[in-house]
Structures are given as C-alpha cells and as structure tokens.
C-alpha cells in the first residue's frame, strides 16, 4: 500500500491532536458524572493518543511502521468503544 508523504504527515500530526482534545473533554465529563462508561471512553482515547503520538515520532521514511502504529491506535479505539458500549448499556439498563 502506498501513501503520499503529505497524507502521512497529516494523519500522524492531526490524529494525536484530536485525540488529546477529545481525551480532555472525556476526562472532564468523567469528573462531572463519575460514570464508568465515560472513564472507559477516556481510557480509550488515552491509549489511542499514546499510540498515535508514538507514531508521530517515527521517522517519515519508515512508512510501514508508522502505518502499523496508526492502525494499532484504531484497533485500540475499536476495542475500547466496544467496552464503552457494553458498560454504558449496563449502567443505563438498556
């Protein structure tokens, strides 16, 4: 799979920034609600943020490892989203 350099730069810099913003808002929501579901969502964005931030520090000429880290961040987000949905359903008795 081939991606141009601009796409990789945008993905590896914008994604951690967006994750950080959402992570801060999730933590603020957790402090307000003390909900386990919101805490799990905060942990989801925290793990994705750390993984994507580490991908940002991989040199640009190493395309495959950089993409592997970005995909790992997406996988972590997916797993935590499933946990969030389950925990939210248990809390709200859906």
User: What is d(CA 91, CA 77) in angstroms, rounded to the nearest whole number?
Assistant: 20
CA distances (Å), origin 90, targets 35, 57, 94: 11, 38, 7
Enclosing domain of residue 63: 5-92
pLDDT at 33: 81
User: What is d(CA 81, CA 47) in angstroms, rounded to the nearest whole number?
Assistant: 12
Block means of pLDDT (10 residues each) for the chain, 94 residues, are 65 72 78 78 76 68 70 74 72 58
Domains: count for the chain: 1
Please check whether residue 39 is in contact with residue 91, taking contact to mean a CB–CB distance below 8 angstroms. no
Instruction: Say whether pTM exceeds 0.95.
Output: no
Distance between terminal CA atoms of the chain? 42
């Amino acid at each position: 799979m081939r991606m141009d350099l601009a796409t990789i730069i945008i993905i590896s810099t914008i994604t951690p920034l967006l994750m950080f913003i959402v992570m801060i808002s999730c933590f603020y929501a957790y402090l307000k609600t003390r909900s386990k579901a919101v805490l799990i969502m905060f942990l989801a964005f925290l793990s994705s943020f750390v993984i994507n931030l580490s991908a940002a520090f991989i040199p640009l000429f190493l395309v495959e490892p950089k993409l592997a880290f970005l995909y790992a961040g997406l996988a972590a987000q997916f797993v935590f989203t499933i946990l969030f949905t389950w925990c939210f359903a248990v809390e709200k008795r859906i």
